[in-house]
Amino acid sequence: MNNIIEMERVIWEREGKTVLSGIDWTVQPGEHWALLGLNGSGKTTLLNMLCGYLWPTSGSISVLGNRFGEVDLRDLRKWIGWVSSSLQERLHGGQKGEHLVVSGKFATIGLYEQPTAEDYERAFKLMERLRCAHLRGRTYQTCSQGERQKLLIARALMAAPKLLILDEAANGLDFISREELLESISELATEPDAPHMLYVTHHTEEVLPIFSRTLLLRRGATFMQGPTEEVLNEKHLSEFFEVPVALHWNQGRAWLSRK
């Protein structure tokens, strides 16, 4: 089976500034990764590049075995689910939960085609898997932030993607809502048809045990990558954040505080 992601010596420059510098990264079949970086580290640029919305200044990229320059990126994007805060801003608040989920099949903002009964059946099953079946008939604008994120993940899964990108999925959630969402993500990863997942965050405690490998991105360059428990230690993270930090592991997750 082809690698899920291959980036070789990827550089992206804009207006004379190097935003991504020499990224080498391989995601192998069966791996779920975390991508950790502070604001301005280049995470969003890298994600836009993976989805083919940006083209590298130099270097090569392959996603799901498809090398950029040899594939129609519009077709490739059908196999990539991307859940981000920017998507939330574009959605219609009056849309009902199940309609929002079904729209993921058509990759549209809003529902303009007539879904089949089978489409709705799949949507309801996905909502059950993500513990948001109670949102049937509820409008998006009346849902909590955590409920909205679950609907968006279900929407991304509607098209059966092979790669699911969760871009700061827990951003803005309170502690309880965040933990409920993370538990749903962990359960999703155990499903036999689960996509490969890339979880993007700047909080180490959100890196669940299912994300067995982690990439640290700082100032547009790879700071470190490898097995999560090797990458996330006090020495590496103190250097990464450029402040002394204390770390303790609890239930397979790394919790940080400043020394």
Domains of the chain: 5-220 (3.40.50.300)
Confidence of residue 86 (pLDDT cuts 50, 70, 90): low
Task: Compare 207 and 108 and report the one with higher pLDDT.
Answer: 207
pLDDT at residue 88 above 70? Answer: no
Q: Which of 80-94, 117-131, 137-151 has the lowest mean pLDDT?
A: 80-94
Q: What is the pLDDT of residue 20?
A: 95
Q: What is the pLDDT of residue 243?
A: 95
- Output the pLDDT for position 114: 76
User: Average pLDDT for residues 26-30, to the nearest whole number?
Assistant: 96
pLDDT top residue among 222 and 39: 222
In this structure, what token pair is assigned to residue 13? 């420059």
Question: pTM for the whole thing?
Answer: 0.91
- Is the distance from CB of 38 to CB of 202 less than 8 angstroms? yes
The percent of residues above 70 in pLDDT, for the chain, comes to 94
- Tell me the average pLDDT across 191-220: 95
Average pLDDT over the chain reads 91
Look up residue 11 and give its two tokens: 């550089």
Could you read off the pLDDT of 176-192 as tens digits, one per residue? 999 999 999 999 998 88
